[in-house]
Amino acid sequence: MYILGVQCISNDSSAALIKDGKVIFAIEEERLSGVKHTTEFPLAAVWSCLSFAGITMNDIDAICLSHDVQKHIRLKLINHWLTYFPKANERMAGEFDTVKRLLNLEKEVREKLHFHGKIFFCRHHLAHMASAYYLSTFKESALFSIDGVGDIESSMIGYAKGNKITVFEDSSVNWPHSIGSLYTSITHYLGFLPHCDEGKVMGLASYGNPKKYKKLFEKIVTLKPQGKFEINLDYFNYPFIRRSHVSQKFINAAGPARVPKSEITQNHMDIAAGLQYITEETMLHVAKYVRKKTGSENLSLAGGVALNCVANGRILKEAGFKRIFIQPAAGDNGIAIGSALFYYYQHNPRAKRFVMDHAFLGNEYSNDEIEKILKRNRLKFVKLTKKAAQEKAARLLTAGGILGWFNGRMEFGPRALGNRSIITAPFPAEIKDILNSRVKHRESFRPFAPIVRLEECGEYFDHTHESPFMLLTYNVNKDKQRVVPAITHVDGTARVQTITKEQNEDIYNLIGAFKKQSGVGVILNTSFNIMGQPIVYHPDQAIECFKTTGIDCLIFNGMYVIEKKKKK
């Protein structure tokens, strides 16, 4: 049974192919189009799914979309308009294009994909929760989904047991009361790109003092019973005017908005810290409630706000759960998987579940293909055994070199997790600035993440819970902060990725080789791209990035080694 999940309305359009309940391929359209966070219909992503499986649209049993069209129109458009009439007139006028597309979505899908079979519409946050729970190891779990808005809700909780999901309707929070929209609004206010740069604000927050604007953000967000919360809309324009975020009241309280690309002041850092503070407190509030309500020690967490790894780390430590699962594409790209899995288990309630223990669901290139591409680019390369290449890479890293690593199947989700990565040593501290300026071409305050073998996680960090998708932040042990300074953020934390041999043998062995050379069992990992571009998809893109940045060595498939000529 083949089920195709398609995410095609909001940012991060994507497609995923499910075969008998197992995710066999998933990819974001941005990797193919080159337009980061694209909202375009994921036509190329769909064809990639079909090509991988060697099938056609005639083999697809159902297409699943993550929208409740009637709920979106009835609640978001009509109720919001009536509630805030006439203040919301301008916003609602702009919503008509979205409504028109939603009403014609089934027709659009059928025409673009030439599909005549079953089309299933899945509630947005239900798809989020399904994307986490059904891919976890949990037999039962509390559920928590939080984002900007999906259909009408911005936050939803529930409980799952076996293959059945139950939503706690009385605890849902409806837009415009939204932590995701709040975070996006302040991202825009701070001069960054909304729906794209929220992660920058999370990194910037560590440089600020959260106490300065603590009272302001506590006025903005009120925590309510049953895991609910409410936004004081007097501080914002987004519910009333499209593409307008904070109101004059917020500016009066916090100062003028930052002009993009201008100097970042301490005040901007303090505002980011205040925003991060209230986000963490709100997520903890909801998580503690669903923990108490369900009694479950497991939490399946999803939604765009679930990419906030700092808040996730606090939930793990403070909300009372023993285990948390967040799948790598926690944002809207992941609901292509979630809607398809929800449909499958509704029709196969006793079916076996498949655990997601890695994110390598995209395309790959054979050794023959790599060799042809290298020869076409007239690149001098050597082909080594994987062990020899890992030892060579370890020597390079120990000596301060920067490695481009293009290996196996591409990751699904916004993080590079070891197959489309730029890798270096976690020392000295200056390597962070070198990466930001000479390779990534991005802001100096942006942190970098470590990869550590799971069994050694506790040696370097204050928690041993697995974090295979780089979605939990731990404290770096004080005695190790001088050992791994380049991955230690200004507040003493790190966004940790743990790895096992079964998840990624090549990276696991590379870390082992690096430890033999340096005595340190951690490597620094960042995505193989430069700022503003998606993670590289094709070897040609990796080669171009290698040629035009400060990367010293490029390794394909763990064995094809290309080194830059040393300048005399």
Q: Do 146 and 239 sit in the same domain of this protein? A: yes
Do residues 446 and 381 both lie within one domain? yes
Shared domain for 392 and 471, answered yes or no, is yes
In this structure, is residue 84 part of a structural domain?
A: yes
Measure the N-to-C terminal CA separation of the chain; round to a whole number of Å. Answer: 60
Q: What local confidence, expressed as pLDDT, does residue 548 receive?
A: 94
pLDDT of the residue at 567: 61
**Do 373 and 290 fall within a single domain?**
no
Q: What is the CA radius of gyration of the chain?
A: 23
Give tens-digit pLDDT for 157-193: 999 999 999 999 999 999 999 999 999 999 999 999 9
pLDDT value of position 10: 84
- Indicate whether 229 and 306 sit together in one domain: yes
Alpha helices in 73-212 (DSSP H): 80-83, 89-103, 105-113, 124-133, 179-189, 198-205
- 379-408 pLDDT, tens digit each: 999 999 999 999 999 999 999 999 999 999
Q: Domain count of the chain?
A: 3
pLDDT along the chain (568 residues), means of 10: 94 97 98 95 98 98 92 72 77 76 92 97 97 98 96 95 97 95 97 95 97 98 98 94 90 97 97 98 98 98 98 98 97 97 97 96 98 97 98 97 98 97 97 90 91 98 97 97 97 97 98 98 96 94 96 97 80
Confidence (pLDDT) at 143: 98
pTM for the structure as a whole:
0.95
With respect to residue 28, please indicate whether it lies within any of the assigned structural domains.
yes
Q: Is residue 205 part of a domain?
A: yes
Same structural domain, 180 and 48: no
Whether residue 118 lies inside any domain: the answer is yes
- CB contact set of 428 (below 8 Å; sequence gap of 6+): 400, 485, 486
**Quick one: which of 326, 299, 412 has its CA closest to 23?**
412
Looking up residue 95, the CATH number of its domain turns out to be: 3.30.420.40
Nearest to 472 by CA among 342, 327, 288: 327
Identify whether 543 is part of a domain: yes
Q: Are 279 and 223 in contact (CB under 8 A)?
A: no
Return the percent helix, strand and coil in the chain, to nearest 5: 40, 20, 35
Domain that holds residue 22: 2-126+335-347
For residue 76, what pLDDT is reported? 66
pLDDT digits (tens, 9 = 90+) for 441-496: 888 899 999 999 999 999 999 999 999 999 999 999 999 999 999 999 999 999 99
pLDDT at residue number 101: 85
248 lies in the same domain as 163: yes
